[in-house]
Structure 1
Amino acid sequence: MRYKATMNLLSRQRKARRSELSSRSWSSQGIRSLSGGDGMKIIKNKGLSSIFERMILILASFIVIGRLIIWKFFKDAGVLEKVNMSNIVISFFIFVVVFLYLIKLFIEKGPLPRTVIDLPLKIFLFICGASVFYSADSNISLGSFIVLLSMVGLFWVLTGCLNTKERVKSFIKFLIFAGVIVAVLGIKEYIFYCNINTNINSNLLSSSQKIIFYMAQTKRVGSLLGWPNVLAAYLMLLIPQAFILYFVEKNRIQKVLFALAFLIMVAAMLLTFSISGWMCFFIAVFISMLFYKKVVGTDDGGISFNKLLIICVIFFSVLGSTVVLNRVKDRGASNLIPRMKYLTTVLSVINEHPLRGSGLNSFQVANRRYIYSKTEGYSMFVHNSYLQMWSEVGILGVLVFVFILLKAVESSCRLFKKLRVSEEGLVLMGLLCSVGAFMLDNIFSFTFLKPNIAFFWWVQLAILLAWIKVIGPKEDRAAAKGPKSNNNPIIVTAIFVVLLLVCSKRIYVSDHYLFKGQRVFNSGDIEGAYRCFMIAQKENPMNGKVPSALGVVAFQRFAASKDIKFLNDAEYNLKKSVNMMPLAPENFQMLSRVYYLKGDKVKAKEFFDRFVELEPYKHI
């Protein structure tokens, strides 16, 4: 028995020895394969992928800075020219970043980024794209659709590249840093306005100077965003995150920096004196705190909820009352009168096309027939983004957009209930508060529709959904990554992005020569203006403003030479512009003059009556 036991022991030892040698052999093979085979390729690919993603995020950061300062590069341009040119330039660079990201996905054969709002977002983009074909001004709608696609493209890239906690938090910190710079410039602007002379005739000022004059009179700051309400919306996206990061960060220096950032941005927001901004911000904070209390309780993690609630109520009451009293003292109820007319106008446009709308961003054209005087009711925007969106893309478009917002909020709230008080949960609450405040603000404002601030909304939404993907349950993260791609969707998307790059470039060049031609025309160089307008028409044949400008040039040529061919050219171009912009009154006014000079008084009266219908008081 002893012999048998000894043999069994030796047998087990030999088996263990063989197993050990086998494992060493396999491990050495594994090391060799990783050092020279497919394993090393995987490691290298992951490393290159990470570097590529960081490069894309750096480019995205430059685009964020560019969005804030780009209008500074168009010093000699008017307000409309600055807006159009800056929007299309930023869109072009965003499409470049999207194309680079698609190249990365193509090389890796990786999946396209996925979020919880993918399907409704695609439906919304389809509705907006379809509206271009029946818009009151197809050129405006096409340009606006390209700008919208660029912002959604950046949103899509950020949700794919912000795939770790560190990246998301770093990007949030970068945005807060940019927000502090904007806030400091706003405070500096207020000091400048306090020392400026406002006892001048504003009618002698240009459109850009009138905006500065208004803000100087009211002592309201706009900083790099150009308008007080827009600056308030921008800051309300960042203030909650600076506040939350003060509690999340462990480093004392960072705590102090975030506290200073919070105070500086609050001070700048106070100087906007935006009643709707402060009111919506307070409501969003209050709702967020009530939700926090329901999920977490009144006292968790050393935070006394009741004390915090009292402090917030006092804080916002003091600042809010300061804002309201300042505005009432300065302006009274005068700014409410045109806003009521804006609402009346948008309801009239909705009543005309309740289902399909008048076309993306065409409200500035479609509303002219309902406006009696530009000084009393004309506006490119209604102070309610949801109503204006209804008037432009129809009831289905606005319902899908609201569903996108609610879906993002619902996903955030559901995840916060699981996280409760934690670093991830607090950051999520800060993002949710920012998004909620912005959504409420658009009941009284138009920041969803103004590209220079809507850009930051899409960035913020991307950060929120990226954070949800990063910290969510493992099964949700696996579903969000999706299956391996066969590259067909990536190739199709890349081709589409290249087309958008070409299209945005042509629109930019066309607008550049259109505005340049207008300046040359005003200087008296008719032939130089004609050459500029012809280049603009060649680059973008859909731009209805170009044939209108060519018609005016032809009319001036006729006035100088009395050659009837120029009058015929004016008729041809103006009719072409009418077909492209059926609600532009200046075309009907010019056509009335053309037919009067040609001796056709019936048509002259017909077009003049149409002009009066669109601009009832302008002919007086």
Structure 2
Amino acid sequence: MKYFLRLPKNKSSHSNAVVFLCIFLFFQADLKVTVWPYIHWVIAFVGLLLLICIRNTAFKIDRRDLFVLMLIPLAMAINFLIVPSIENVIQTYKVAIIFISIYIISNFLSIVNFKSILTASLVLNSLFLLFGILGLSWAARILTGDGRWGTLFNYPGSLYKVGLFMIVFGIYGMIKSKNKIGYSLTTVLCLFVMYMDGSRTAFILLGVALVYIIFIMIIEYLSKGGTFATLRLLVVFMTISISSIFAVNYKPIQESRIYKTILEVLSGEGGLAKADNIRYDMLTRVQEEITQHPIVGIGMGNTSTIVNGESITIHNAYLQIWSDAGILAVLALLLLMTYGVFQSRLYIRAAMQTKSVFHGAQAYNLSFLLIIMPITNLFHPFSTEWSDWSAYLLAIACTRVLGGSEDAHEDV
């Protein structure tokens, strides 16, 4: 079967507006800090209520999607029966509600609208950063002692995702499209946001994005061939190489925490314990707990380490949920991540078979969202927040609009 991008036309502008607003606000992770802790839950409740009232399309449910999504809350619920606690109940319900709600909302979302939401988030946060640089601290400011920036909507640690979620779209379009201005601007804004965040995870994932771009250029070359494709691939390699040379000699980058961490780890002197002693302590702590309780978890939120007198959650989702919710939960999480990577192939097939660079860039970008989540989990805690799951779950759900026959598209 051939996979093409089929973009369903939603007849209701009202449902389009509701979906756009809900998902856009989900992506603004730290509204729960700057506005109200439960704002995303209220947005989800009101959004779902409005969508049900104005529903103009039948709900489509993929049983495989639903089965894989429900394994994590099911595993958490089983662990609760063994280790009962109020926190276990709350976290289990939160995960189940988030997964089901986002899957329902995805019925009203097209791939084009998804891209528009990501673009709006990128542009708005970039503008806020510029306002902050100009002195408007309400919009954005330095929020950490090591110079990391955050905006009104996204603090350091979540801000970089705004850029990461569009980086493949920008770079691929910049390479392939005749109209390079828009894609180049997108790429610049993505890099700007990621740099201002200053997250080490962001730069690791940027490296993954560049490798992914090279990978898709290679498979396109192998499938279509041609000297021009080879030249494009060479240009990508040269651009990355030259940019890297300039970057490592740029003083602000040399003084950044990312650069220093890389040098300390590569030097072999103390390794991770010296480069990031907090993360090292986290991994040591969680491994001790898993060794003592390898099958049954000790309860959600109970695996943490003390830093400067404060309890910090373990920054590795797989090890954290294993320690907190048991071996069934970590297996369920691994299965969900594997399923996402498996589904990403549908977007790659669709991108290779469409004639439109614009739609191809969208498909590759969605594929990338499914690929980076398993890697991101290595550096972040297991989340029960809307902002951390929205992009991944929507990317899985949007595979339902792949199929049928390809419409004629012009390059944009």
Q: Which among 127, 150, 160 is matched to residue 107 of structure 2?
A: 160
Say whether 1:117 aligns with 2:57: no
Q: Which protein shows a greater Rg?
A: 1
Say whether 1:410 aligns with 2:338: no
Superposition pairs for residues 397-476 of structure 1, below 5 Å?
397-417=329-349, 419-420=351-352, 422=354, 423=356, 424-446=359-381, 448-449=382-383, 451=385, 455-473=386-404
Partner residue, 1:537: none
Partner residue, 1:392: 324
Distance of 1:116 and 1:182 partners within structure 2: 35
Q: 1:394-453 CA deviation, whole Å, 9 max, x = no partner?
A: 22212222222222222222552465263344321122223323432332333x5262xx
Q: 1:443-490 CA deviation, whole Å, 9 max, x = no partner?
A: 2333x5262xxx34433224423442223357xxxxxxxxxxxxxxxx
Q: 1:230-252 CA deviation, whole Å, 9 max, x = no partner?
A: 322342122223444556878x5
Partner residue, 1:64: 26
The CA RMSD measured in Å over matched residues stands at 3.8
Distance of 1:427 and 1:278 partners within structure 2: 22
Superposition pairs for residues 109-508 of structure 1, below 5 Å?
110-114=58-62, 116-134=64-82, 138-162=85-109, 167-189=110-132, 215=144, 217-224=145-152, 227-244=155-172, 256-297=181-222, 302-303=228-229, 304-316=232-244, 318-319=246-247, 323=253, 325-327=255-257, 336-360=276-300, 362-363=301-302, 366-367=303-304, 374-375=307-308, 379-417=311-349, 419-420=351-352, 422=354, 423=356, 424-446=359-381, 448-449=382-383, 451=385, 455-473=386-404
Identity of counterpart residues, as a percentage?
A: 16
Distance of 1:350 and 1:436 partners within structure 2: 27
Aligned 8 A contact 1:282 1:316 in 2 = no
Q: 1:235-290 CA deviation, whole Å, 9 max, x = no partner?
A: 2122223444556878x5xx534432321231221122222320232124304422
Distance of 2:259 and 2:341 partners within structure 1: 37
Residues 170 and 233 from structure 1, CA distance in 2 versus in 1: closer, same or farther, beyond 3 angstroms? closer
Distance of 1:58 and 1:294 partners within structure 2: 33
TM-score (norm 1): 0.53
Aligned 8 A contact 1:300 1:421 in 2 = no
Aligned 8 A contact 1:179 1:265 in 2 = yes
Say whether 1:93 aligns with 2:21: no
Distance of 1:412 and 1:300 partners within structure 2: 26
Q: How many residues align?
A: 377
Aligned 8 A contact 1:237 1:437 in 2 = no
Q: CA deviation at 1:354?
A: 1.9
Distance of 2:376 and 2:202 partners within structure 1: 6
Distance of 1:278 and 1:51 partners within structure 2: 38
Distance of 1:435 and 1:321 partners within structure 2: 33
Distance of 2:254 and 2:353 partners within structure 1: 35
Residues 435 and 329 from structure 1, CA distance in 2 versus in 1: closer, same or farther, beyond 3 angstroms? closer
Secondary structure (helix, strand or coil) at the match of 1:228 reads coil
Aligned 8 A contact 1:240 1:434 in 2 = no
Distance of 2:117 and 2:212 partners within structure 1: 27
Structure ranking higher in helix proportion: 1
Q: CA deviation at 1:305?
A: 1.5
Q: CA deviation at 1:383?
A: 2.4
Distance of 1:269 and 1:411 partners within structure 2: 27
Residues 214 and 231 from structure 1, CA distance in 2 versus in 1: closer, same or farther, beyond 3 angstroms? closer
Q: CA deviation at 1:132?
A: 4.3
Residues 129 and 172 from structure 1, CA distance in 2 versus in 1: closer, same or farther, beyond 3 angstroms? farther
Distance of 1:158 and 1:244 partners within structure 2: 28
Distance of 1:153 and 1:301 partners within structure 2: 48
Aligned 8 A contact 1:389 1:398 in 2 = yes
Q: CA deviation at 1:143?
A: 3.4
Secondary structure (helix, strand or coil) at the match of 1:222 reads strand
Secondary structure (helix, strand or coil) at the match of 1:229 reads coil
Distance of 1:93 and 1:432 partners within structure 2: 27
Q: CA deviation at 1:388?
A: 1.1
Distance of 2:397 and 2:227 partners within structure 1: 26
Residues 65 and 325 from structure 1, CA distance in 2 versus in 1: closer, same or farther, beyond 3 angstroms? closer
Aligned 8 A contact 2:28 2:153 in 1 = no
Q: 1:38-59 CA deviation, whole Å, 9 max, x = no partner?
A: xxxxxxxx99974563254144
Instruction: For 1:185, give the aligned amino acid.
Output: F
Q: CA deviation at 1:334?
A: 6.1
Secondary structure (helix, strand or coil) at the match of 1:357 reads coil
Q: CA deviation at 1:223?
A: 2.3
Q: CA deviation at 1:121?
A: 1.1
Distance of 1:406 and 1:343 partners within structure 2: 23
Secondary structure (helix, strand or coil) at the match of 1:117 reads helix
Secondary structure (helix, strand or coil) at the match of 2:149 reads coil
Aligned 8 A contact 1:342 1:379 in 2 = no
TM-score (norm 2): 0.76
Instruction: For 2:191, give the aligned amino acid.
Output: V
Instruction: For 2:169, give the aligned amino acid.
Output: Q
Distance of 1:178 and 1:63 partners within structure 2: 9
Distance of 1:48 and 1:225 partners within structure 2: 29
Distance of 2:332 and 2:368 partners within structure 1: 22
Distance of 2:353 and 2:255 partners within structure 1: 38
